[in-house]
Amino acid sequence: MQRTFVISLLICLLAASSCRKQHGQPDPPGNGGRKPDSSARIRSINNNMYAYDGEGRVARITYSNSIAARTDYSYSPDSVFARDFDMQGHPHGGRVTYYLRNDGLADRIFYLIDSSVSPLIITLAYNTDRQLTEEIVADEGGTAFLRVVWHYSKGNADSVLTYSLPGNVLSGVERVEYYADQPNWLGNEHNGISFLGAGNANLEKKRVSTNTGSPSVTEYTYQFDDAQRPVVKHTTVDGSAMPDLAFTWY
């Protein structure tokens, strides 16, 4: 049960997935269109509201439909602490601590889901462009059981490889395509979580996942405002429409 939850955690925490064609230095970013305003921040995603501190870092996420009413973030020079609260303002469930390197990137995460299960320890690695390249997940004091490796081409993560540990057995592959003419407004930088690495250069277009059975194909299209920022993200999975994501901006 805990390991199933970890897969969801990886998806939520990390915006990019992928595998690079070469294993040397990344190709130069290949994004087209107007470069996103670095000061832009997402105000809401489907009525989940985001608030930021004076340095543009996420300070609070308020949820519209969740047992936890909000998550508050606090910062120190070497860590970021996130804690959930219920509607009465009492601490709820677990907590997350992101431990930072000297350059401000998180290289270790302590994740307590709740008091009934062992905490998780997640270690992270990055390339010279500050993009995530590897994540290893373990139970606290135990053996690592999951490894995820991202590779990049032209500033975009173009595949992700998932391995079961120990044994380093390949258990999943995703290939990712991007809109070369659409710069990425939905990266970590615009959600106040740049401590988890730089985002892709372009907006994601298509993801083909191979785990067990037939490949699953997820495709994305977008609607934009007058500033060319995404305001609606449409998703189909194997041809079937999924609920849209709606974005507002500060």
% of the chain surpassing 70 pLDDT: 86
Report which DSSP code applies to 26: P
Residue 108 bridge partners (DSSP): 99, 123
Rg of the chain on CA atoms, in Å: 18
Greatest C-alpha distance within the chain: 51
Give the separation between CA 159 and CA 218, rounded to whole angstroms: 13
Residue ranges of the alpha helices (H) in 67-189?
A: none
Provide the pLDDT for residue 212: 66
Number of domains making up the chain:
1
Q: Is the peptide bond before 166 cis (omega within 30 degrees of 0)?
A: yes
144-165 as b/e: b if 16+ CB within 10 A: bbbbbbbbbbbbbbbbbbbbee
pLDDT in tens, 208-248: 998 767 899 999 999 999 999 999 999 999 999 999 999 99
% of the chain surpassing 90 pLDDT: 73
Provide the pLDDT for residue 64: 87
Tokens describing residue 123: 């270690």
Range of the domain at 55: 2-19+27-249
Q: Is the pLDDT of residue 150 over 50?
A: yes
pLDDT in tens, 173-215: 999 999 999 999 999 999 999 999 999 999 999 999 987 678 9
Task: Please state the pTM of the whole predicted model.
Answer: 0.86
Per-residue confidence band for 33, with pLDDT thresholds at 50, 70 and 90: low
pLDDT in tens, 2-31: 454 444 454 445 433 332 233 333 334 444
CATH number, domain at 149?
A: 2.40.160.190
pLDDT in tens, 52-82: 999 999 999 999 877 789 999 999 999 999 9
CA dihedral 177, 153, 150, 51 (to 10 degrees): -70
